[in-house]
Amino acid sequence: MPRPSSPSPAMEENGAANSTIKTRHHYAPPWADVSIIGIAGSSGSGKSSVSDAIVKKLNLPWVVILSMDSYYKTLSAEASKKAFACEYDFDSPDASPLYGGLTHIAYPPQAIDFDALVQSLRDLKAGKRAEIPIYSFQQHQRLEQTTSIYSPHVLILEGIFALYDPRVLELMDMKVFCEEDADVCLSRRVIRDVRDRGRDVEGILKQWLSFVKPNFEKFVDPQRKVAGEAERQMLCSPRPNFAELSQNTDIILPRGIENTVAITVVVQYVEQKLLEKSKQHRAALTRLELESQASPLSNRVVFLEQTPQMRGMDTILHDIDTPSEEFIFYFDRISTLLIERALENVKFKEATVTTPQGHTYRGLRARGDRVIPDCRMGHVVIESNVRTGEPELKYQKLPRDIESRCSNVLLLDAHMSSGGSALMAVQVLLDHGVPQDRIVLATYSAGRMGLHRLTTVFPDITVVVCKLVNDIEERWIEKRYFRC
Protein backbone atom coordinates (compact mmCIF):
# COMPACT_ATOMS: atom_id res chain seq x y z
CA MET A 1 0.00 0.00 0.00
CA PRO A 2 1.48 3.42 -0.93
CA ARG A 3 2.35 5.78 1.90
CA PRO A 4 0.05 8.84 2.28
CA SER A 5 1.63 12.04 1.02
CA SER A 6 0.65 14.04 4.12
CA PRO A 7 0.30 11.84 7.22
CA SER A 8 -1.82 13.01 10.10
CA PRO A 9 -0.21 14.10 13.40
CA ALA A 10 -1.53 10.92 15.03
CA MET A 11 0.16 8.81 12.36
CA GLU A 12 3.40 10.74 12.82
CA GLU A 13 3.21 10.21 16.57
CA ASN A 14 2.55 6.48 16.15
CA GLY A 15 5.36 6.19 13.64
CA ALA A 16 7.76 7.88 16.03
CA ALA A 17 6.66 5.60 18.84
CA ASN A 18 7.13 2.50 16.69
CA SER A 19 10.56 3.73 15.66
CA THR A 20 11.45 4.25 19.32
CA ILE A 21 10.32 0.74 20.21
CA LYS A 22 12.40 -0.83 17.45
CA THR A 23 15.56 0.90 18.58
CA ARG A 24 14.95 0.65 22.32
CA HIS A 25 13.61 -2.85 22.94
CA HIS A 26 16.42 -5.36 22.78
CA TYR A 27 17.09 -8.66 24.47
CA ALA A 28 20.63 -9.88 25.04
CA PRO A 29 21.02 -13.36 26.61
CA PRO A 30 23.91 -14.00 29.02
CA TRP A 31 25.96 -15.65 26.26
CA ALA A 32 25.71 -12.66 23.89
CA ASP A 33 29.10 -11.33 25.05
CA VAL A 34 30.98 -14.42 26.18
CA SER A 35 33.98 -13.82 28.45
CA ILE A 36 37.11 -15.44 27.01
CA ILE A 37 40.05 -16.53 29.16
CA GLY A 38 43.27 -17.42 27.33
CA ILE A 39 45.68 -19.92 28.88
CA ALA A 40 49.04 -20.31 27.09
CA GLY A 41 52.30 -22.02 27.94
CA SER A 42 54.77 -24.66 26.83
CA SER A 43 53.70 -28.12 25.81
CA GLY A 44 53.29 -30.04 29.07
CA SER A 45 53.14 -26.92 31.25
CA GLY A 46 49.76 -27.91 32.70
CA LYS A 47 47.38 -25.79 30.60
CA SER A 48 44.79 -28.53 30.21
CA SER A 49 45.00 -29.54 33.87
CA VAL A 50 44.55 -25.94 35.00
CA SER A 51 41.58 -25.49 32.65
CA ASP A 52 39.97 -28.69 33.91
CA ALA A 53 40.53 -27.63 37.52
CA ILE A 54 38.82 -24.27 36.90
CA VAL A 55 35.80 -25.90 35.26
CA LYS A 56 35.60 -28.55 37.99
CA LYS A 57 35.64 -25.93 40.74
CA LEU A 58 32.93 -23.89 39.07
CA ASN A 59 30.79 -26.95 38.18
CA LEU A 60 28.58 -25.00 35.77
CA PRO A 61 27.39 -26.14 32.32
CA TRP A 62 28.04 -22.78 30.64
CA VAL A 63 31.80 -22.65 31.33
CA VAL A 64 33.50 -24.60 28.52
CA ILE A 65 37.04 -25.31 27.31
CA LEU A 66 38.19 -24.82 23.73
CA SER A 67 41.54 -26.44 22.87
CA MET A 68 43.67 -24.95 20.10
CA ASP A 69 44.67 -28.50 19.15
CA SER A 70 41.40 -28.59 17.20
CA TYR A 71 42.73 -25.95 14.81
CA TYR A 72 45.77 -27.77 13.44
CA LYS A 73 45.61 -27.71 9.66
CA THR A 74 45.08 -30.81 7.56
CA LEU A 75 48.44 -32.08 6.32
CA SER A 76 49.39 -32.90 2.77
CA ALA A 77 50.55 -36.43 1.89
CA GLU A 78 54.20 -35.41 2.14
CA ALA A 79 53.74 -33.52 5.41
CA SER A 80 51.70 -36.40 6.83
CA LYS A 81 54.53 -38.82 6.07
CA LYS A 82 56.91 -36.54 7.98
CA ALA A 83 54.48 -36.30 10.88
CA PHE A 84 54.30 -40.08 11.27
CA ALA A 85 58.11 -40.12 11.28
CA CYS A 86 58.15 -37.37 13.95
CA GLU A 87 59.94 -35.09 11.48
CA TYR A 88 57.17 -32.52 10.95
CA ASP A 89 57.32 -29.23 12.83
CA PHE A 90 53.83 -28.49 14.12
CA ASP A 91 55.05 -25.06 15.27
CA SER A 92 57.00 -24.12 12.15
CA PRO A 93 56.91 -20.48 10.96
CA ASP A 94 56.25 -19.51 7.37
CA ALA A 95 58.14 -16.88 5.42
CA SER A 96 55.74 -14.03 6.10
CA PRO A 97 56.83 -10.57 7.32
CA LEU A 98 56.41 -9.31 10.87
CA TYR A 99 53.08 -10.48 12.20
CA GLY A 100 50.49 -8.09 13.53
CA GLY A 101 53.05 -5.55 14.69
CA LEU A 102 54.26 -7.75 17.56
CA THR A 103 57.99 -7.14 17.53
CA HIS A 104 58.71 -9.83 20.12
CA ILE A 105 57.31 -12.54 17.81
CA ALA A 106 58.94 -13.09 14.43
CA TYR A 107 56.59 -15.17 12.27
CA PRO A 108 53.23 -16.89 12.77
CA PRO A 109 53.16 -20.70 13.03
CA GLN A 110 51.75 -22.14 9.82
CA ALA A 111 50.46 -25.32 11.47
CA ILE A 112 47.64 -23.48 13.27
CA ASP A 113 44.61 -22.23 11.35
CA PHE A 114 44.35 -18.88 13.12
CA ASP A 115 41.75 -17.53 10.67
CA ALA A 116 39.32 -20.33 11.55
CA LEU A 117 40.03 -19.88 15.27
CA VAL A 118 39.38 -16.13 15.14
CA GLN A 119 36.13 -16.68 13.24
CA SER A 120 34.94 -19.22 15.83
CA LEU A 121 35.73 -16.84 18.68
CA ARG A 122 33.98 -13.95 16.95
CA ASP A 123 30.90 -16.10 16.36
CA LEU A 124 30.79 -17.10 20.02
CA LYS A 125 31.39 -13.52 21.12
CA ALA A 126 28.38 -12.50 19.02
CA GLY A 127 26.21 -15.20 20.64
CA LYS A 128 26.18 -17.45 17.58
CA ARG A 129 26.84 -21.17 17.26
CA ALA A 130 30.39 -22.14 16.30
CA GLU A 131 31.39 -25.37 14.56
CA ILE A 132 34.69 -26.56 16.03
CA PRO A 133 36.87 -28.87 13.88
CA ILE A 134 38.13 -32.19 15.25
CA TYR A 135 41.80 -33.03 14.69
CA SER A 136 43.10 -36.60 14.97
CA PHE A 137 46.73 -36.93 16.09
CA GLN A 138 46.59 -40.62 15.22
CA GLN A 139 45.76 -39.79 11.57
CA HIS A 140 47.36 -36.31 11.51
CA GLN A 141 44.26 -35.05 9.71
CA ARG A 142 41.09 -33.15 10.45
CA LEU A 143 38.05 -35.35 10.67
CA GLU A 144 34.87 -34.69 8.70
CA GLN A 145 32.84 -34.33 11.89
CA THR A 146 32.71 -31.11 13.89
CA THR A 147 31.69 -30.23 17.43
CA SER A 148 29.15 -27.47 18.04
CA ILE A 149 29.66 -24.92 20.80
CA TYR A 150 26.78 -22.62 21.63
CA SER A 151 25.75 -20.35 24.51
CA PRO A 152 28.80 -20.52 26.82
CA HIS A 153 28.91 -17.65 29.30
CA VAL A 154 32.66 -18.15 29.83
CA LEU A 155 35.07 -19.77 27.36
CA ILE A 156 38.54 -20.99 28.31
CA LEU A 157 40.87 -21.06 25.29
CA GLU A 158 43.93 -23.18 26.02
CA GLY A 159 46.89 -23.86 23.75
CA ILE A 160 50.56 -23.07 23.26
CA PHE A 161 49.62 -20.08 21.07
CA ALA A 162 46.54 -18.88 22.96
CA LEU A 163 48.18 -15.46 23.55
CA TYR A 164 49.86 -15.21 20.14
CA ASP A 165 47.51 -13.71 17.57
CA PRO A 166 46.61 -10.01 18.11
CA ARG A 167 43.10 -10.67 16.81
CA VAL A 168 42.57 -13.27 19.53
CA LEU A 169 44.01 -10.98 22.21
CA GLU A 170 41.48 -8.29 21.30
CA LEU A 171 38.65 -10.69 22.19
CA MET A 172 40.07 -11.82 25.53
CA ASP A 173 38.99 -10.70 28.98
CA MET A 174 41.75 -12.48 30.89
CA LYS A 175 45.19 -13.80 29.92
CA VAL A 176 47.07 -16.54 31.79
CA PHE A 177 50.54 -17.94 31.05
CA CYS A 178 51.48 -21.30 32.63
CA GLU A 179 55.17 -21.80 33.31
CA GLU A 180 56.90 -24.99 34.39
CA ASP A 181 60.41 -26.46 34.38
CA ALA A 182 61.42 -27.94 31.03
CA ASP A 183 62.13 -31.41 32.46
CA VAL A 184 58.65 -31.54 34.00
CA CYS A 185 57.09 -30.46 30.69
CA LEU A 186 59.02 -33.15 28.82
CA SER A 187 58.01 -35.91 31.24
CA ARG A 188 54.34 -34.90 30.97
CA ARG A 189 54.56 -34.81 27.18
CA VAL A 190 56.08 -38.30 27.05
CA ILE A 191 53.32 -39.74 29.24
CA ARG A 192 50.55 -38.00 27.27
CA ASP A 193 51.80 -38.86 23.77
CA VAL A 194 52.46 -42.51 24.62
CA ARG A 195 49.09 -42.92 26.34
CA ASP A 196 46.81 -40.82 24.12
CA ARG A 197 48.50 -40.35 20.74
CA GLY A 198 50.11 -43.70 20.02
CA ARG A 199 53.72 -42.49 19.82
CA ASP A 200 56.95 -44.04 21.01
CA VAL A 201 59.45 -42.45 23.40
CA GLU A 202 62.20 -42.19 20.78
CA GLY A 203 60.00 -40.22 18.41
CA ILE A 204 58.79 -37.95 21.20
CA LEU A 205 62.35 -37.07 22.24
CA LYS A 206 63.32 -36.51 18.62
CA GLN A 207 60.45 -34.08 18.10
CA TRP A 208 61.12 -32.33 21.41
CA LEU A 209 64.78 -31.64 20.66
CA SER A 210 64.27 -30.79 16.99
CA PHE A 211 61.15 -28.62 17.14
CA VAL A 212 59.35 -28.20 20.46
CA LYS A 213 62.17 -26.77 22.55
CA PRO A 214 63.60 -24.38 19.89
CA ASN A 215 60.15 -23.10 18.95
CA PHE A 216 59.24 -22.59 22.60
CA GLU A 217 62.05 -20.06 22.87
CA LYS A 218 61.05 -18.41 19.57
CA PHE A 219 57.29 -18.30 19.74
CA VAL A 220 55.83 -19.54 23.04
CA ASP A 221 57.99 -17.92 25.70
CA PRO A 222 57.60 -14.38 24.23
CA GLN A 223 53.88 -14.64 25.04
CA ARG A 224 54.90 -14.31 28.67
CA LYS A 225 55.19 -10.56 28.01
CA VAL A 226 51.46 -10.44 27.35
CA ALA A 227 50.81 -11.57 30.92
CA GLY A 228 51.73 -9.40 33.93
CA GLU A 229 54.86 -9.80 36.04
CA ALA A 230 53.29 -7.89 38.95
CA GLU A 231 50.62 -10.54 39.30
CA ARG A 232 53.25 -13.28 39.41
CA GLN A 233 54.96 -11.65 42.37
CA MET A 234 51.65 -11.16 44.14
CA LEU A 235 50.52 -14.76 43.59
CA CYS A 236 53.76 -16.08 45.07
CA SER A 237 53.22 -14.06 48.25
CA PRO A 238 51.75 -15.89 51.27
CA ARG A 239 48.80 -13.46 51.57
CA PRO A 240 47.76 -12.23 48.11
CA ASN A 241 45.38 -9.31 47.72
CA PHE A 242 42.69 -10.41 45.25
CA ALA A 243 41.32 -6.87 44.98
CA GLU A 244 44.44 -5.82 43.07
CA LEU A 245 43.40 -8.19 40.27
CA SER A 246 39.97 -6.64 39.76
CA GLN A 247 41.13 -4.36 36.95
CA ASN A 248 44.31 -5.99 35.64
CA THR A 249 43.51 -9.66 35.10
CA ASP A 250 46.74 -10.89 33.47
CA ILE A 251 48.44 -13.68 35.40
CA ILE A 252 51.64 -15.71 35.14
CA LEU A 253 50.88 -19.05 36.76
CA PRO A 254 53.87 -21.07 38.00
CA ARG A 255 53.66 -24.71 39.19
CA GLY A 256 50.51 -25.42 37.20
CA ILE A 257 47.73 -27.26 38.99
CA GLU A 258 49.66 -27.20 42.26
CA ASN A 259 49.25 -23.42 42.41
CA THR A 260 45.86 -23.44 44.09
CA VAL A 261 46.12 -19.72 44.92
CA ALA A 262 46.34 -18.74 41.25
CA ILE A 263 43.55 -21.12 40.27
CA THR A 264 41.38 -19.60 43.01
CA VAL A 265 42.06 -16.14 41.55
CA VAL A 266 40.86 -17.27 38.12
CA VAL A 267 37.80 -19.00 39.60
CA GLN A 268 36.87 -15.89 41.58
CA TYR A 269 37.25 -13.78 38.44
CA VAL A 270 34.95 -16.14 36.51
CA GLU A 271 32.40 -16.13 39.34
CA GLN A 272 32.43 -12.33 39.35
CA LYS A 273 31.88 -12.26 35.59
CA LEU A 274 28.98 -14.71 35.85
CA LEU A 275 27.43 -12.63 38.64
CA GLU A 276 27.69 -9.48 36.52
CA LYS A 277 26.08 -11.23 33.55
CA SER A 278 23.27 -12.51 35.76
CA LYS A 279 22.58 -9.03 37.17
CA GLN A 280 22.60 -7.47 33.71
CA HIS A 281 20.26 -10.16 32.39
CA ARG A 282 17.75 -9.73 35.21
CA ALA A 283 17.92 -5.95 34.91
CA ALA A 284 17.24 -6.21 31.18
CA LEU A 285 14.17 -8.40 31.80
CA THR A 286 12.87 -5.92 34.38
CA ARG A 287 13.44 -3.04 32.00
CA LEU A 288 11.54 -4.84 29.26
CA GLU A 289 8.66 -5.40 31.65
CA LEU A 290 8.44 -1.70 32.53
CA GLU A 291 8.81 -0.51 28.95
CA SER A 292 6.09 -2.80 27.62
CA GLN A 293 3.44 -2.19 30.29
CA ALA A 294 1.91 0.78 28.49
CA SER A 295 1.79 -0.98 25.12
CA PRO A 296 -1.29 -2.79 23.82
CA LEU A 297 -0.98 -6.43 22.84
CA SER A 298 0.50 -6.97 19.40
CA ASN A 299 -1.84 -7.88 16.56
CA ARG A 300 0.38 -10.93 16.02
CA VAL A 301 -0.95 -12.47 19.25
CA VAL A 302 -3.79 -14.81 18.25
CA PHE A 303 -6.28 -16.25 20.77
CA LEU A 304 -8.36 -19.36 20.22
CA GLU A 305 -12.06 -18.61 19.96
CA GLN A 306 -13.67 -19.17 23.36
CA THR A 307 -16.54 -21.39 22.24
CA PRO A 308 -18.73 -23.24 24.78
CA GLN A 309 -16.78 -26.41 23.96
CA MET A 310 -13.46 -24.63 24.65
CA ARG A 311 -14.70 -23.21 27.96
CA GLY A 312 -15.99 -26.63 28.95
CA MET A 313 -12.66 -28.35 28.27
CA ASP A 314 -10.82 -25.57 30.11
CA THR A 315 -13.08 -26.06 33.14
CA ILE A 316 -12.35 -29.80 33.15
CA LEU A 317 -8.59 -29.12 33.07
CA HIS A 318 -8.80 -26.77 36.06
CA ASP A 319 -10.93 -29.16 38.11
CA ILE A 320 -8.67 -30.71 40.74
CA ASP A 321 -10.86 -33.85 40.79
CA THR A 322 -10.42 -34.55 37.07
CA PRO A 323 -8.83 -38.02 36.61
CA SER A 324 -5.42 -38.09 34.94
CA GLU A 325 -6.72 -39.96 31.89
CA GLU A 326 -9.38 -37.31 31.25
CA PHE A 327 -6.91 -34.49 31.86
CA ILE A 328 -4.52 -35.92 29.26
CA PHE A 329 -7.36 -36.50 26.77
CA TYR A 330 -8.75 -32.95 26.96
CA PHE A 331 -5.33 -31.28 27.05
CA ASP A 332 -4.34 -33.22 23.92
CA ARG A 333 -7.58 -32.04 22.31
CA ILE A 334 -6.81 -28.39 23.10
CA SER A 335 -3.23 -28.91 21.91
CA THR A 336 -4.57 -30.15 18.58
CA LEU A 337 -6.68 -27.00 18.21
CA LEU A 338 -3.66 -24.86 19.08
CA ILE A 339 -1.48 -26.56 16.46
CA GLU A 340 -4.22 -26.28 13.83
CA ARG A 341 -4.49 -22.55 14.54
CA ALA A 342 -0.71 -22.15 14.54
CA LEU A 343 -0.41 -23.86 11.15
CA GLU A 344 -2.65 -21.19 9.68
CA ASN A 345 0.35 -18.87 10.08
CA VAL A 346 2.79 -20.93 8.01
CA LYS A 347 4.29 -19.39 4.90
CA PHE A 348 2.48 -19.85 1.60
CA LYS A 349 3.60 -19.57 -2.00
CA GLU A 350 1.68 -18.93 -5.21
CA ALA A 351 0.55 -22.00 -7.14
CA THR A 352 -1.32 -22.55 -10.40
CA VAL A 353 -3.56 -25.60 -10.85
CA THR A 354 -5.75 -26.89 -13.66
CA THR A 355 -9.27 -28.02 -12.78
CA PRO A 356 -10.85 -31.20 -14.27
CA GLN A 357 -12.86 -28.92 -16.56
CA GLY A 358 -9.62 -27.50 -17.98
CA HIS A 359 -9.76 -24.13 -16.23
CA THR A 360 -6.63 -22.54 -14.76
CA TYR A 361 -6.79 -21.39 -11.15
CA ARG A 362 -4.18 -19.37 -9.28
CA GLY A 363 -4.03 -19.76 -5.51
CA LEU A 364 -1.73 -20.39 -2.55
CA ARG A 365 0.03 -23.53 -1.35
CA ALA A 366 1.85 -24.08 1.94
CA ARG A 367 5.61 -23.99 1.63
CA GLY A 368 7.44 -27.19 2.53
CA ASP A 369 6.68 -30.74 1.50
CA ARG A 370 4.98 -31.94 4.68
CA VAL A 371 4.49 -30.14 7.95
CA ILE A 372 2.77 -32.69 10.20
CA PRO A 373 3.36 -35.61 10.53
CA ASP A 374 7.07 -36.29 9.88
CA CYS A 375 8.07 -32.87 11.16
CA ARG A 376 11.65 -32.44 12.35
CA MET A 377 11.92 -32.19 16.13
CA GLY A 378 14.24 -30.25 18.39
CA HIS A 379 14.43 -29.60 22.12
CA VAL A 380 15.34 -26.59 24.25
CA VAL A 381 15.49 -26.95 28.05
CA ILE A 382 15.32 -23.69 30.01
CA GLU A 383 15.01 -23.71 33.80
CA SER A 384 14.36 -20.84 36.18
CA ASN A 385 16.98 -20.33 38.86
CA VAL A 386 15.35 -21.23 42.18
CA ARG A 387 17.15 -18.36 43.93
CA THR A 388 16.90 -15.50 41.44
CA GLY A 389 14.15 -16.64 39.07
CA GLU A 390 16.46 -15.97 36.12
CA PRO A 391 15.95 -18.28 33.11
CA GLU A 392 18.97 -20.49 32.41
CA LEU A 393 19.63 -22.45 29.23
CA LYS A 394 20.45 -26.01 30.29
CA TYR A 395 20.25 -27.94 27.02
CA GLN A 396 19.47 -27.43 23.36
CA LYS A 397 19.45 -29.76 20.39
CA LEU A 398 17.99 -28.41 17.17
CA PRO A 399 17.66 -30.04 13.75
CA ARG A 400 20.74 -29.60 11.59
CA ASP A 401 20.42 -26.81 9.02
CA ILE A 402 17.24 -25.59 10.69
CA GLU A 403 17.78 -22.16 9.16
CA SER A 404 17.61 -23.45 5.58
CA ARG A 405 15.64 -26.72 5.66
CA CYS A 406 12.68 -25.64 7.81
CA SER A 407 10.21 -23.25 6.19
CA ASN A 408 8.52 -22.62 9.56
CA VAL A 409 9.37 -23.39 13.17
CA LEU A 410 6.70 -24.15 15.77
CA LEU A 411 7.89 -23.30 19.28
CA LEU A 412 5.73 -25.16 21.82
CA ASP A 413 5.40 -24.36 25.52
CA ALA A 414 2.54 -25.39 27.79
CA HIS A 415 2.66 -22.23 29.90
CA MET A 416 4.23 -18.79 29.55
CA SER A 417 3.91 -16.29 32.40
CA SER A 418 6.69 -13.70 32.63
CA GLY A 419 8.08 -14.54 29.20
CA GLY A 420 11.72 -14.87 30.26
CA SER A 421 12.05 -18.46 29.04
CA ALA A 422 10.20 -17.68 25.82
CA LEU A 423 12.54 -14.75 25.12
CA MET A 424 15.54 -17.01 25.58
CA ALA A 425 14.06 -19.80 23.44
CA VAL A 426 13.31 -17.42 20.56
CA GLN A 427 16.82 -15.98 20.86
CA VAL A 428 18.24 -19.52 20.55
CA LEU A 429 16.36 -19.95 17.26
CA LEU A 430 17.53 -16.56 15.99
CA ASP A 431 21.14 -17.41 16.87
CA HIS A 432 20.76 -20.53 14.72
CA GLY A 433 19.65 -18.49 11.73
CA VAL A 434 15.85 -18.79 11.91
CA PRO A 435 14.17 -15.48 10.91
CA GLN A 436 11.57 -14.02 13.27
CA ASP A 437 8.72 -14.20 10.78
CA ARG A 438 9.16 -17.98 10.47
CA ILE A 439 8.67 -18.60 14.21
CA VAL A 440 5.22 -19.42 15.61
CA LEU A 441 4.92 -19.86 19.39
CA ALA A 442 1.95 -21.95 20.57
CA THR A 443 1.07 -22.04 24.27
CA TYR A 444 -1.93 -23.10 26.33
CA SER A 445 -1.78 -20.15 28.74
CA ALA A 446 0.19 -16.91 28.80
CA GLY A 447 0.47 -13.84 31.00
CA ARG A 448 -0.02 -10.37 29.57
CA MET A 449 3.43 -9.27 30.77
CA GLY A 450 5.11 -12.20 29.03
CA LEU A 451 3.27 -11.50 25.78
CA HIS A 452 4.25 -7.83 25.98
CA ARG A 453 7.91 -8.68 26.58
CA LEU A 454 8.05 -11.20 23.78
CA THR A 455 6.29 -9.21 21.08
CA THR A 456 8.03 -5.91 21.80
CA VAL A 457 11.47 -7.50 21.49
CA PHE A 458 10.53 -9.81 18.61
CA PRO A 459 7.67 -8.03 16.81
CA ASP A 460 7.66 -10.33 13.77
CA ILE A 461 6.92 -13.64 15.51
CA THR A 462 3.38 -15.02 15.84
CA VAL A 463 1.99 -16.21 19.18
CA VAL A 464 -1.05 -18.51 19.41
CA VAL A 465 -2.64 -18.64 22.88
CA CYS A 466 -5.59 -20.53 24.32
CA LYS A 467 -6.23 -18.30 27.34
CA LEU A 468 -4.80 -15.29 29.19
CA VAL A 469 -3.76 -15.84 32.83
CA ASN A 470 -2.15 -13.91 35.68
CA ASP A 471 1.48 -12.93 35.20
CA ILE A 472 2.63 -14.75 38.34
CA GLU A 473 0.77 -18.03 37.84
CA GLU A 474 3.00 -21.01 38.58
CA ARG A 475 3.51 -23.83 36.11
CA TRP A 476 1.13 -26.70 36.87
CA ILE A 477 0.22 -28.35 33.57
CA GLU A 478 3.32 -30.55 33.32
CA LYS A 479 2.84 -31.90 36.86
CA ARG A 480 -0.70 -33.08 36.16
CA TYR A 481 -0.03 -34.28 32.61
CA PHE A 482 2.99 -36.40 33.59
CA ARG A 483 1.49 -37.30 37.00
CA CYS A 484 4.46 -36.06 38.99
CB 256 within 8 A of CB 45: yes
Greatest mean pLDDT among 146-155, 235-244, 351-360 lies in: 146-155
Complete domains list, the chain, with CATH = 35-281 (3.40.50.300), 301-481 (3.40.50.2020)
For residue 158, give the DSSP letter.
E
Residue whose C-alpha is closest to residue 253's, from 274, 269, 234: 234
The more confidently predicted of residues 248 and 75 is 75
- Helical pair 308-318 and 324-343, crossing angle rounded to 10 deg: 140
Average pLDDT score over residue span 450-467: 92
How far is 60 from 49, CA to CA, in rounded Å? 17
pLDDT exceeds cutoff 50 at 79: yes
Q: Per-residue pLDDT for 465 more than 80?
A: yes
Helix, strand, coil: what percent of the chain each, to 5?
A: 45, 20, 35
Q: Maximum Cα–Cα distance for the chain, whole Å?
A: 95
Q: What is the pLDDT of residue 368?
A: 56
Task: State whether residue 57 is helix, strand or coil.
Answer: helix
pLDDT digit string, tens, across residues 297-335: 889 999 999 999 999 999 999 999 999 999 999 999 999
Beta-sheet pairing, 360-366 with 348-354? antiparallel
Q: Report how far residue 286's alpha carbon sits from residue 267's, in angstroms, rounded to the nearest whole number.
A: 29
Range in 16-20, 154-158, 268-272 the model is least confident about: 16-20
* Contacts of the segment 477-481: beta carbons below 8 A, 24+ positions apart: 477/331, 477/414, 477/415, 477/444, 477/445, 478/414, 480/324, 480/327, 481/327, 481/328, 481/331, 481/414
CA distance 363 to 351: 5
| Span between the terminal Cα atoms of the chain, in Å | 53
Give the single-character DSSP code of 222: G
Average pLDDT score over residue span 380-402: 86
Nearest to 68 by CA among 165, 197, 166: 165
Q: What is the pLDDT of residue 93?
A: 37
Who has greater pLDDT, 472 or 266? Answer: 266
311 to 35, 274, 314, 315, 479: CA distances (angstroms):
50, 45, 5, 6, 22
Q: How far apart are CA 227 and CA 109, in angstroms?
A: 20
pLDDT digits (tens, 9 = 90+) for 88-140: 777 653 433 333 334 334 344 567 888 999 999 999 998 888 999 998 888 87
Quick one: average pLDDT of 196-212?
83
